[in-house]
Amino acid sequence: MDHSPAPDAPILFFDSGLGGLTVLGPTRALLPTAPIVYAADYAGLPYGEKSNEELAARVPALLGRLVERYQPRLAVIACNTASTIALTHVRAALDLPIVGTVPAIKPAAALTKSGVIGVLGTEATVRQPYVDDLSAQFASDKTVLRHGSPALVAAAEAKLNGRPVDTDEAAERAIAGLRDQPGGDAMDVIVLACTHFPLLQDELQAAAGADVRLIDGAAGIARRIAHLTEGQPWPAEVAPGIAVFTRSDDRPPPPPAALAPYGIGRIETI
């Protein structure tokens, strides 16, 4: 019996906001005709300020609704905070492949020359035992500095939505949050442990300096998606993707022009 998905079965990307677009981009490069549904939980944004208990309940429930509605072949939790807190709950609740997002501490440990690594994420991500475990497993002989920056998430959202925001100041404050810690002057690699943060790659690089390497896990996630879907049928031609947003009175969906570069052609709300 053939258990392959239909060619038009989409890949579902899920994030609290627009950060997961940084994972969608490299995935599109590897799987150019893959049907895409991009889901942003604007009603729950920002995730970094929510409790573990709230996210452990919210994320599986919302993903369950999205899976029922769009029937994806695979779901990607393109959000470090949701992954570190809710990934095991989602996998227990849903019967399809789930790809999570974890801080790129292992490659950072391999890259550092000074032995000092920065981990820049949301407040929720940097406090997780998961980060402790990754640091112990892959960077036990390194100094791992952490800083949570909700302001960077807000700045990335504002930038992509075309709202005025001082992204340079937000980046400088975030980098200073790492630099000002003991050992921070020697830091030569920074893990962008929030998918929103590569949207501010240029600003963060300018604030960190040319001698500091910024890394994230997006390319590795894209390769994982390609591996899990290897041999599956895809449409012959690319179709515009769908972006779906949970309704929020305070935060309307972004303008279509902001999503068009990522292959999104239709916006829905739930």
| Lookup: tokens for 124 | 């929720």
Task: Tell me whether residue 230 is exposed, middle or buried, using C-beta atoms within 10 angstroms of its C-beta: 0 to 12, 13 to 18, 19 or more.
Answer: exposed
Active-site residue (options: 11, 55, 79, 145): 79
Domains and CATH numbers, the chain: 11-101+219-269 (3.40.50.1860), 105-216 (3.40.50.1860)
Look at residue 2 and tell me whether its pLDDT is greater than 60.
no
Q: How confident is the model at residue 213 (pLDDT cuts 50, 70, 90)?
A: very high
Query: Which pLDDT score is estimated for 4?
Result: 83
Q: Is 79 tagged catalytic?
A: yes
| Position 29 confidence tier, pLDDT thresholds 50, 70, 90 | very high
Mean pLDDT of 99-111: 95
Average pLDDT, the chain: 95
Which of the following is catalytic: 76, 82, 194, 204? 194
Biggest CA pair distance of the chain: 60
178 is a catalytic site residue: no
Please report which helix (H) or strand (E) contains residue 126, including its range: helix 123-126
- pLDDT in the model for residue 1: 43
pTM of the predicted model, to two decimals? 0.94
Q: Which two tokens stand for residue 263?
A: 């292959």
Tell me the pLDDT tens digit for each residue of 51-79.
999 999 999 999 999 999 999 999 999 99
The reported pLDDT for the residue numbered 61 is 96
218-228 and 21-30 helices, crossing angle to 10°: 50
Q: Is the pLDDT of residue 156 over 50?
A: yes
The pLDDT value recorded for residue 237 is: 93
Query: Residue 264 forms beta bridges with which residues?
Result: 241
Cis peptide before 103 (omega within 30 of 0): no
Average pLDDT of the residues in 243-258: 92
